[in-house]
């Protein structure tokens, strides 16, 4: 895949913008190039997790590649693929967090209705469903039992 085909494929998936600065550092029969590439990601969301903020900060760091044209092309393709993986991982991570939050919100039990004071009073009057223990009293001899 050509360099620009790869760039357009990666950038179109995520709507990213790149700034590229190319200059020569060595002239002659085998000139060297210096590429400085910066991703313009825009501001980080206020709701971003620490991990997401760190990833975005690392992706926004300028990439500097220096070498022959062939070396620069090879290195740039490798970095573009790495960049695409990082962006995909970040997007997947955000999606997983949103799904987990949604699942947690849906899993909360419905609140129990509060009993009115009348209901509480009638519940207090109802007998418990547990059997009561029988109490035994010592048997007293009937009065005049000795008389028979």
Domain boundaries, the chain: 3-102
pLDDT for the residue numbered 23: 92
- Tracing tokens 């007293």 back to the chain, one arrives at 140
In our burial notation (b when 16+ CB lie closer than 10 A, e otherwise), range 44-58 reads eeeeeeeebeebbee
pLDDT for the residue numbered 71: 92
pLDDT for the residue numbered 148: 41
Tell me the C-alpha to C-alpha distance, in Å, between residue 14 and each of 68, 91, 115, 147: 30, 9, 53, 109
Tell me the C-alpha to C-alpha distance, in Å, between residue 63 and each of 35, 76, 126: 8, 9, 77
- Which residues in the chain show pLDDT less than 70? 1, 10-16, 110-113, 115-148
pTM: 0.50
């Amino acid at each position: 895949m050509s360099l620009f085909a790869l760039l357009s494929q990666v950038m179109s998936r995520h709507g990213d913008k790149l700034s590229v600065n190319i200059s020569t550092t060595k002239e002659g029969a085998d000139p060297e190039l210096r590429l400085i590439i910066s991703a313009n990601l825009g501001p980080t969301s206020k709701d971003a997790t620490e991990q997401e903020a760190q990833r975005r900060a690392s992706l926004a760091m300028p990439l500097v590649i220096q070498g022959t044209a062939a070396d620069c092309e090879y290195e740039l393709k490798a970095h573009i693929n790495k960049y695409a993986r990082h962006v995909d991982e970040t997007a997947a991570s955000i999606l997983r967090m949103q799904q987990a939050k949604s699942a947690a919100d849906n899993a909360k039990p419905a609140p129990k209705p509060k009993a009115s004071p009348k209901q509480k009073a009638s519940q207090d009057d109802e007998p418990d469903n547990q059997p009561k223990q029988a109490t035994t009293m010592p048997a007293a001899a009937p009065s005049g039992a000795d008389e028979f």
